[in-house]
């Protein structure tokens, strides 16, 4: 039996365990720098930076999703889906779709025109699922990241 | 003389005018649905959804940037640059870089490890500028959007 519920502060360690599993799946385990305390502070304090859902299958933790506000200067507030993940042993049961449906309902209830996210180009199973949902692949947009030394160098050029 | 300052509520009409110019530049003028009141409410109320900067050249409005919080479950809080735009008559003076440097300084001051954004794949001038800054193009990520009827259909699948 599937149950989807909002995560609470006590779920932070579980959330981190599943974030690590996602990073293994994405082949970047070394990129996880976050700790349980960070997740507690950032997700479950007075001004949460993200919302999290936990999926349970027969009372076992089966997956999670993390999402937060996105803002389009063309269309106003929308949603950004940072992660949707189903643990290996629980795949093929529609849990990913159920997590996304819960977020879609929240988006519709809050009048948000859309949910934005990213998918890895080699993750064909996810791409097929998103296509089946009627999602649009915006391949004319290239994601860019400025970090590390390049970020510090640019910051030094700021006036005042 | 270049000056970069935080936008205030009184700048909302100016901001919208420049958002429309950006949409023209991006060849999607019909996508601008937002109004001045939306920008005032969303950007300048008690819990702003975005931050905006205005660039002035000899006291003329020359460009703007809009950015807000991004959250990585691997690395914690980062920044998302929604728009950076320089009006046509003011290009080639380093105003775009100056806007980005101001945001980079804010990111460094707040200990954010990076700034994320998207560039249109045909915007070679911007791509060249971002490469010169040392930005990383994360082309293994495909941006996805679920909206309209597809979003409504998925929302109907949500439990309870």
CA A52 – CA A82 distance, rounded (Å) = 10
Contacts with A147 from chain B: Cβ below 8 Å: 113-115, 136
Binned at pLDDT 50, 70 and 90, residue B77 comes out as very high
CA B140 – CA B120 distance, rounded (Å) = 15
Cβ within 8 Å, pair B136-A153: no
Q: Looking at residues A55-74, what average pLDDT do you find?
A: 97
For residue B116, give every residue at least 6 positions away whose Cβ sits within 8 Å of its Cβ, in sequence order, or none. Answer: A143, A144, A145, B70, B78, B79, B80, B81
Cβ within 8 Å, pair B50-A68: no
Q: Which pLDDT score, from 0 to 100, does residue B160 have?
A: 56
In this complex, which of A34, A142, A154 lies closest to B133 when CB atoms are compared? A154
Q: What is the pLDDT of residues A73-121, one digit of tens each?
A: 999 999 999 999 999 999 999 999 999 999 999 999 999 999 999 999 9
Reference A137, options B93, B121, B65, B1; nearest CA is B121
pTM metric for this prediction:
0.96
Q: Is A80 a catalytic residue?
A: no
| DSSP bridge partners of B69 | B79
Q: What is the pLDDT of residues B25-34, one digit of tens each?
A: 999 999 999 9
CA B71 – CA A81 distance, rounded (Å) = 10
Q: Is the pLDDT of residue A160 over 70?
A: no
Q: Is the pLDDT of residue B67 over 60?
A: yes
> Residues B30-39, buried b or exposed e (16+ Cβ, 10 A)?
eebebeeebb
- In CATH, which superfamily holds the domain spanning A2-156? Gcn5-related N-acetyltransferase (GNAT) (3.40.630.30)
Distance from CA of B61 to the nearest CA of A (A): 18
Binned at pLDDT 50, 70 and 90, residue A150 comes out as very high
Cα–chain-centroid distance for residue A104? 13
Binned at pLDDT 50, 70 and 90, residue A159 comes out as confident
Q: Which of B151, B152, B153 to mutate to test the interface with A (most CBs of A within 10 A)?
A: B151
Q: Which pLDDT score, from 0 to 100, does residue A26 have?
A: 96
Distance from CA of B87 to the nearest CA of A (A): 16
Q: Looking at residues A29-57, what average pLDDT do you find?
A: 97
Q: Looking at residues A117-136, what average pLDDT do you find?
A: 97
In this complex, which of B74, B142, B144 lies closest to A34 when CB atoms are compared? B74
User: How far lies A115's CA from each of A15, A102, B154, in Å?
Assistant: 22, 12, 11
In this complex, which of B77, B108, B127 lies closest to A151 when CB atoms are compared? B108
Contacts with A18 from chain B: Cβ below 8 Å: none
Distance from CA of A139 to the nearest CA of B (A): 6
Contacts with B153 from chain A: Cβ below 8 Å: 133-134
Reference A107, options A145, A135, A127, A86; nearest CA is A135
Q: Which pLDDT score, from 0 to 100, does residue B159 have?
A: 76
> What are the φ and ψ backbone dihedral angles of B122, each rounded to 5 degrees?
-95, 0
């Amino acid at each position: 039996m599937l149950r989807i519920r909002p995560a609470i502060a006590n779920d932070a360690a579980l959330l981190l365990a599943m974030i690590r599993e996602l990073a293994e799946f994405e082949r970047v385990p070394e990129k996880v720098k976050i700790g349980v305390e960070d997740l507690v502070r950032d997700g479950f304090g007075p001004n949460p930076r993200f919302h999290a859902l936990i999926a349970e299958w027969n009372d076992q933790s089966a997956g999670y999703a993390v999402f937060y506000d996105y803002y389009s200067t063309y269309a106003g507030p929308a949603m950004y889906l940072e992660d949707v993940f189903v643990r290996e042993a629980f795949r093929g049961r529609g849990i990913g779709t159920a997590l996304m449906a819960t977020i879609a309902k929240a988006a519709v209830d809050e009048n948000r025109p859309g949910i934005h996210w990213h998918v890895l180009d080699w993750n064909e199973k996810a791409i097929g699922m998103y296509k089946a949902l009627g999602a649009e692949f915006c391949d004319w947009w290239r994601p860019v990241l400025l970090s590390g030394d390049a970020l510090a160098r640019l910051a030094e050029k700021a006036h005042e």
